[in-house]
Amino acid sequence: MARMPGPPGAPDAQPGAGSPEARELTAAVTRLRRALRASIRTEYPWEQLPMAQVELLQVCVEHSPVRVSELAARQRLAQSTVSGLVATMVLNGLVTREVDSEDRRAAAVSATDAGRLRLAAWTRAHERRLEHALTALPDADRAALRTALPALARLAARLEDADGEGR
Summarised one tens digit per residue, pLDDT across range 107-149 is 889 999 999 998 998 888 888 888 999 999 999 999 999 999 9
Amino acid in position 137: L
**The predicted structure's pLDDT at residue 35:** 86
**The predicted structure's pLDDT at residue 167:** 43
**The predicted structure's pLDDT at residue 104:** 80
Instruction: Report strand pairing: 95-99 vs 66-67.
Output: unpaired
pLDDT tens digits for range 79-88: 999 999 999 9
Instruction: Report angle CA 163, 145, 45 to the nearest 5 degrees.
Output: 75
**Partner residues linked to 108 by β-bridges:** 67, 98
**The predicted structure's pLDDT at residue 78:** 93
Which of 39-48, 63-72, 96-105 is the least confident region? 39-48
Report CA dihedral (145, 150, 156, 162) to the nearest 10 degrees: -140
**The predicted structure's pLDDT at residue 47:** 61
CB atoms within 10 A of CB 142: 13
**The predicted structure's pLDDT at residue 8:** 52
DSSP class per residue in 59-115: HHHHHSSEEHHHHHHHHT--HHHHHHHHHHHHHTTSEEEEE-SS-TTSEEEEE-HHH
CA–CA gap between residue 160 and residue 116 (Å, rounded): 23
* Stretch 161-166: mean pLDDT: 61
Instruction: Report angle CA 89, 90, 93 to the nearest 5 degrees.
Output: 85
**Partner residues linked to 67 by β-bridges:** 108
pLDDT tens digits for range 23-61: 999 899 989 888 887 777 766 655 677 888 999 999 999
In this prediction the pTM is: 0.72
**The predicted structure's pLDDT at residue 92:** 93
* Stretch 53-79: mean pLDDT: 91
CA–CA gap between residue 75 and residue 58 (Å, rounded): 11
